[in-house]
Amino acid sequence: MRTQVGIVGAGPAGLFLSHLLQRAGIDCVVIETRSRKYIEERVRAGVLEQESSDVLRQMGLGARMDREGLIHHGINLRFNERLHHIDFQDLVGKGVMVYGQHEVVKDLVQARLDSGAPLLFEVSDVAVDGLDTKTPTVRFTHQGQAQELVCDFIAGCDGFHGICRPAIPEGVLKTYERTYPFGWLGILAQAQPASEELIYSNHDNGFALLSMRSPELGRLYLQCDPEEDLANWPDARIWEELNLRLAGGKGLPEGPILQKGVTQMRSFVVEPMQYGRLLLAGDAAHIVPPTGAKGMNLAFADVRVMARALDAFYRDGRDDQLAAYSEVCLRRIWKAQRFSWFMTSLMHRFPDDSAFDRRRQLADLDYLTGSRAAMTSLAENYVGLPMEWALS
């Protein structure tokens, strides 16, 4: 098999890249180790920055998002038993779209299959080599047959645990990582959300988040130990703690819990995001805590930079944008890491915090919600910073 760009991974990064390349007339093949059913049902966070949702619309991929997604013009911060609204529309004139990542994946998968472009599920034995040559290769097995895909470039969009990043020779990448001393116990509940917009709560017992997937489905989270045993959290205890942290014990709308799980909080970045003809994107290159709602948006930003660079290469014979790929992406990534760290530090209780630290944290929240300048800074980061196409 021969293609211009081999895309390893059919998550948001790989699928969105495939549409950007197809739009530019660049051939690509997407391969994925999981089944279509698995990737379409894997529940992840789902907040799209304004620019992310705008681009989906421009590409003709936003029809179902606009029918079923929820436009939010702000968020709520809760502390000291009081609710404070941050009005994005008033502060920066933008908003966000609440639309599950798995729903975005469904739309991208269906559009690619409808186009007839190659998208191979349930491949195995994936390996990449020849990365420092002009014809890097992706080898894999599909439907029992060994396959070799010869490419001009490989896009590593296969996530944190994928094979692309480890294929880069030892010593090339520098890793920056922080693991937080807590996790999120997340649930999907058949219950009407108690608020039309997200509630981030800082409580003496720890952080809580009220989010939603639809007017009938709530997505809620509790700060917990990263090694927490779900057996210690029966449904009744989860609702009791959610009520306490999010509503002062006054009673949230409750319903059957459809899913529950614990997610470890981590910040992770590798530099550079490229080696030879291999370009990394999304979780393969970086992870942010979900507190800042940046994961899928960063993946989209990466592949927009990548697609632009590949278009310049094929259309104009230029390789300067490819050479600058990492540097351009990392400027945005580190700003998103800073914001995600800020939101995580602002809203969570840390095990080693002193009484002084606790009072300082509450003072930070009091200042933020009382200062238009501080709220504007939060709003412009949350709705998404402008894309930086070139180095200043």
Q: Is 213 helix (H, G, I), strand (E, B) or coil?
A: coil
CA–CA distance, 107 with 34 (Å, rounded to integer): 17
List the domains of the chain with CATH numbers.
1-46+100-173+272-351 (3.50.50.60), 180-265 (3.30.9.10)
Contact 183, 264 (CB under 8 A): yes
For residue 390, what pLDDT is reported?
43
Is 106 marked active-site? no
Is 176 marked active-site? no
Q: The pTM is what?
A: 0.94
Beta-bridged to residue 392, according to DSSP, are none
Say whether the peptide bond before residue 272 is cis (omega within 30 degrees of 0): yes
Structure tokens at 105: 């994946």
Catalytic residue selected from 200, 221, 275, 325: 200
Span 38-83, pLDDT tens digits = 999 887 778 999 999 999 999 999 999 999 999 999 999 999 999 9
CA–CA distance, 226 with 181 (Å, rounded to integer): 7
For residue 392, what pLDDT is reported?
35
For residue 389, what pLDDT is reported?
58
Residues of the chain with pLDDT under 70: 389-392
Span 114-159, pLDDT tens digits = 999 999 999 999 999 999 999 999 999 999 999 999 999 999 999 9
CA–centroid distance for 87 within its chain = 23
Contacts of 315 (CB under 8 A, 6+ apart): 24
Contact 99, 69 (CB under 8 A): yes
Is 200 marked active-site? yes
Catalytic residue selected from 72, 73, 203, 348: 72
Is 290 marked active-site? yes
Catalytic residue selected from 73, 286, 294, 348: 294
Catalytic residue selected from 12, 118, 136, 290: 290
Is 72 marked active-site? yes
